[in-house]
A and B are shown apart, each in its own frame.
Chain A
């Protein structure tokens, strides 16, 4: 069958559109039905406890799996999932640059997501996949699904008009307290928390170094849960390096303690004074990496 020039042109255009969207499209893992917002506060210096950082964590719950990530990445995800992503982002930056000039203030910036960790629960089935980064290197590792052993207690209270009940767990070096809502039968929560017969609305460790508290509940439709790729600068570039949870935690601690030494090693010369590295790293959220 001979292709008429008109059909050929259409075919080329269609192919381009498909290739374009594939190139920028991301892996869609599930469709979200609910979106929960958590305020996340953490102590940067666990020794002096006077530098609290805050972030907003979003938990997307789908039919089969869920994703917990930082709000700052939200715009990137949804924009890049669209074929116009790059251009739309530039437009936003342009408008912001103008508004900056009009308000007369120099760019101060929005605090970048303090939690670079993204937790995909039940993906693959029966496990969790975690992506995170150390400086500019991105890593991925697998973890057990429902790794907590909870003891449910009798205490109850109310959060956002929902009745919640308390449970405690010794999890990887910290003693956690979680409040879950028996009336929301979603066995999930922010970050890696799950395994209680209700949605975890609040969680904190006894030393109050890390705290999550729910601030918003939303029902959604047709919202894809995507596997966020590595984004470096303005280009989609790079892959996650596979590793294990303990190797990742040790690497993170080492980076915080020894960033000058690591920089010297990368450059292959002793440019930076290694005795100036910090001696007071803050403790990670999981402390069982020794």
Chain B
């Protein structure tokens, strides 16, 4: 019984404890209107303090409820809401209900004045700090640029931001290199760069800064303080074997406040190309779009067959030296003077064998040649540019000289054995002047480009029984002066380029050692013409629809004089080539575009030679003096879908083109020559091109999966021995691909590609096909910061003939050990399996060409690299 009582006592005690759980409640209303006030903060605070122990908000009916463990001694209930005067009530021991009225009062906060920083320079700029993107294997600025989100570097070296090519490349705010920024990105060490600034919507011409909108981005490189105003650079020295290999690269540069200089010297015989470093990327010309150049045709065409199916370095047997110096001097506040001088010395050798089958109506002709070629090339280029860039006018003058000496020696065995020596030098001088003057809200521009080019070429062919000599001297003077204007009346923009082009070209050639019966052997002619052109373009954008119509118009009077025959021909022609592009954004993700164009081909005035010219030991060509031209019409439709959030992208396109030419290429088989002549006959050929690509991000492998495919169909004809042979050629390619970053220290990519080609001759029903498979796998392993390994494997399976196929396995490995000071040791092996030959077959016109190339054997290299 006592236990029961004890239990009851405990129970009551327990009850009492729970009973002490306080629930405070009440209603808060407006003192004037008596309406409930929702959202009032009701808080329990120690008296005199701001600290909140517990709180609740009033409901839409103004009611609140607060639970406390026990009665809080010396605490208050605080009621506050913006727009009302706060109220405080002491919490009393026995009181649970608290109904309160609040009076409206503007809540005054103690203001704290903050002066927002003045927005001084409002270009849209994104800054990437290099040290946060650079990885162990990165050396040059180009290596790090590739890692910055939004920035991509194409294999050619062109930099894009958000898929748009940049329109300027600055170093510390100055444009020293013009379009040749490859020299900087490939040679400036990433540890000398502090940040990369992307200037979106960059208008490089100050005078146009608020009247011409720019969609293009630009990049500005900011160097680290310790890399400025002193000589910095890098040096790499490597050696290897089979045979003796070397590689030297030195880059030295200094960037001061008003002068900049970047110099490089590179040389190797490891197959690596150097010429691309000084390549100029066409920087978008915001003033006027016009073709800056005229190219004299090469009549002597002696060149070794080039292998393009596998990476260049595998088949290039070279000995190359490159030297380049680039300088900038700031002369005055708005004037910059820059210059560049480049010298390239290149020797190449190659060995290959070719079996060519020509399909004729009455059978096939097969020829074979085994070729050993060696060439020696010297190039010297220089330019000097003066630029003035102020808010009211812009001036830029570039003087450029390009001298090129090239000698080629080719020994051929086979069906037509011979030895060729060709010398194809070239000299070119040009001047490019741009002036822009701003007046109020309009800008007036004039551009004038002048070029002089001369090519004195020579070819000698020695055969068992005779010798041929061909010399061809061509020269041209070209000038193009134009202006541009534009008018914008929402939503239409009208712009027009007006200009005059003048050309004076002369050709003088002579051939000896070939039978007279084939044709005339000497040419001496001049072609002069003017091109008065207007290129209007109309742009219409409204909402999701964008369209652009270009209608280039040209009026060209030609004057042709043949000094040998003593005849002159005059002709005046008028050309129109409209082009319409329309794009419609169906939804945020899907867009469709339709492009249609009609192009009138220009007169092939460089084929105006009625005498023979020997191009190489096998080909002779005969031109024709005729002012008829062809045209082409094309239509293409593309659909594009992008869902970046789920990393889904696909696009599909279909295009069709119809081409008409008043001539058709005719080949006469007159052993040992092929005589290429133009036959005056209407020739129509057409083409279908279809492609489809799909990509999807795959989170489980942390990468992407994609599939690309394309199909092209060509219908045309060729004339051989004066007989027309119509034919159809199909080509299909399908390539799936996976890239994956399986962990932070390993990433890889795998690609497989299948291609098939069919050739069908309509009249004989002859068919020939070939197919190839290719796979490539590459991976980077980087387990520790100091060293990493790169592996590449390529496998090719080529169908050489119907019953002959070949496998090729090419593999490379590279190992790099890098110390934090910047010193690096590298070892690499290329072509680990020591493959010596690469063979494949392709179709070209009505020919099947089977080729075999000698490729570089296993090359082992070790090199040291450091920066200073």
A residues with a Cβ closer than 8 A to B are 33-34, 37, 44-45, 48, 50-51, 56, 71-72, 74-75, 90-94, 96-101, 104-112, 134-137, 139, 152, 154, 156, 160-163, 165, 181-187, 197-198, 214-219, 233-234, 238-239, 241, 243, 247-248, 250-251, 254-280
Taking the nearest CB of chain A, how far is it from the CB of B30, in angstroms? 15
Q: How far is the CA of A108 from the CA of B741 in the complex (A)?
A: 36
* Top 7 A-B pairs, shortest CB-CB distance: A216-B114, A109-B125, A106-B173, A265-B695, A251-B645, A185-B80, A268-B693
Residues of B494-532 at the interface with A, using a CB-CB cut-off of 8 Å, are none
Taking the nearest CB of chain A, how far is it from the CB of B56, in angstroms? 9
Q: Is the CB of B127 within 8 A of A111?
A: yes
Q: Is the CB of B706 within 8 A of A264?
A: yes
Tell me which residues across on chain A come within 8 A of B154, comparing CB atoms. Answer: 271-272
Q: Is the CB of A259 within 8 A of B149?
A: yes
Tell me which residues across on chain B come within 8 A of A160, comparing CB atoms. Answer: 110, 112
Q: Indicate whether B280 reaches chain A with its CB closer than 8 angstroms.
A: no
Q: Answer whether A185 and B82 are a contact pair too, CB < 8 Å, given A108-B121, A263-B152.
A: yes
Tell me which residues across on chain A come within 8 A of B163, comparing CB atoms. Answer: 263, 266-267
Tell me which residues across on chain A come within 8 A of B644, comparing CB atoms. Answer: 134-135, 137, 251, 255, 262
- Which residue of A37, A182, A267, A271 contacts B114 across the interface (Cβ within 8 Å)? A37
- Which residue of B146, B691, B744 contacts A279 across the interface (Cβ within 8 Å)? B744
Taking the nearest CB of chain A, how far is it from the CB of B39, in angstroms? 8
Q: Is the CB of A110 within 8 A of B741?
A: no
Tell me which residues across on chain A come within 8 A of B132, comparing CB atoms. Answer: 44-45, 48, 51, 280
Q: Is the CB of A251 within 8 A of B155?
A: no
Q: Answer whether A234 and B150 are a contact pair too, CB < 8 Å, given A182-B51, A247-B646.
A: no
Residues of B76-121 at the interface with A, using a CB-CB cut-off of 8 Å, are 78, 80-82, 86, 107-114, 116-117, 119-121
Q: Answer whether A44 and B129 are a contact pair too, CB < 8 Å, given A34-B109, A262-B644.
A: yes
Q: Is the CB of B741 within 8 A of A94?
A: no
Q: Is the CB of B215 within 8 A of A233?
A: yes
Which candidate, B271-279, B721-729, B747-755, B816-824, is the interface stretch facing chain A?
A: B747-755
Q: Indicate whether B62 reaches chain A with its CB closer than 8 angstroms.
A: no
Q: Is the CB of A262 within 8 A of B647?
A: yes
Tell me which residues across on chain A come within 8 A of B702, comparing CB atoms. Answer: 257
For B36-48 the 0/1 string (1 means CB < 8 A from A) is 0001110101000
Tell me which residues across on chain A come within 8 A of B779, comparing CB atoms. Answer: 275
Number of A-B residue pairs with CB-CB distance less than 8 Å in the complex they form: 263
Q: Is the CB of A271 within 8 A of B155?
A: yes
Q: Answer whether A101 and B121 are a contact pair too, CB < 8 Å, given A34-B109, A219-B108, A270-B751.
A: no
Q: Is the CB of A275 within 8 A of B749?
A: yes
Question: Interface residues of B toward A: which range?
Answer: 35 or more
- Which residue of B201, B220, B642, B703 contacts A258 across the interface (Cβ within 8 Å)? B703
Taking the nearest CB of chain A, how far is it from the CB of B392, in angstroms? 10
Which candidate, B206-214, B407-415, B419-427, B597-605, is the interface stretch facing chain A?
A: B206-214
Q: Indicate whether B143 reaches chain A with its CB closer than 8 angstroms.
A: yes
Taking the nearest CB of chain A, how far is it from the CB of B541, in angstroms? 8
Which chain B residue has the least Cβ–Cβ distance from A259? B149
Q: A93-B209, A94-B209, A266-B649 are in contact. List 13 more A-B contacts (CB 8 A).
A: A93-B122, A94-B210, A96-B120, A106-B220, A161-B110, A165-B52, A182-B52, A198-B52, A238-B588, A262-B697, A269-B708, A270-B737, A277-B741
Q: Indicate whether B773 reaches chain A with its CB closer than 8 angstroms.
A: no
Q: Is the CB of A185 within 8 A of B86?
A: yes
Tell me which residues across on chain A come within 8 A of B737, comparing CB atoms. Answer: 270
Q: How far is the CA of A181 from the CA of B123 in the complex (A)?
A: 38
Q: Is the CB of A272 within 8 A of B645?
A: no
Tell me which residues across on chain B come within 8 A of A261, comparing CB atoms. Answer: 695, 697, 703-704, 739
Tell me which residues across on chain A come within 8 A of B162, comparing CB atoms. Answer: 135-136
For B140-171 the 0/1 string (1 means CB < 8 A from A) is 00010011111011110000101100000010
For B623-655 the 0/1 string (1 means CB < 8 A from A) is 000000000000000000010111101010000
Please classify the interface of chain A as helix (H, G, I), strand (E, B), loop, or mixed, using the class held by over half of its residues: mixed
- Name, among A108, A163, A186, the residue most crowded by chain B CB atoms within 10 Å (CB to CB): A108
Q: Is the CB of A107 within 8 A of B123?
A: yes
Q: How far is the CA of A223 from the CA of B215 in the complex (A)?
A: 33
Q: Is the CB of A100 within 8 A of B703?
A: no
Q: Is the CB of B747 within 8 A of A279?
A: yes
- Which residue of B50, B126, B220 contacts A112 across the interface (Cβ within 8 Å)? B126
Which chain A residue has the least Cβ–Cβ distance from B78? A182
Q: Is the CB of A182 within 8 A of B213?
A: no
Q: Indicate whether B196 reaches chain A with its CB closer than 8 angstroms.
A: no
Q: How far is the CA of A78 from the CA of B683 in the complex (A)?
A: 63
Q: Is the CB of A277 within 8 A of B147?
A: yes
- Which residue of A45, A104, A109, A217 contacts B109 across the interface (Cβ within 8 Å)? A217
Q: Is the CB of A109 within 8 A of B114?
A: no
Q: Is the CB of A241 within 8 A of B170?
A: no
Q: How far is the CA of A97 from the CA of B392 in the complex (A)?
A: 11
Q: Indicate whether B292 reaches chain A with its CB closer than 8 angstroms.
A: no
Q: Is the CB of A112 within 8 A of B642?
A: no
Q: How far is the CA of A96 from the CA of B124 in the complex (A)?
A: 13
Tell me which residues across on chain A come within 8 A of B759, comparing CB atoms. Answer: none
Tell me which residues across on chain A come within 8 A of B57, comparing CB atoms. Answer: 187, 197
10 A-B residue pairs with CB within 8 Å: A94-B210, A112-B125, A135-B149, A135-B162, A219-B108, A257-B741, A258-B697, A265-B704, A266-B649, A268-B651
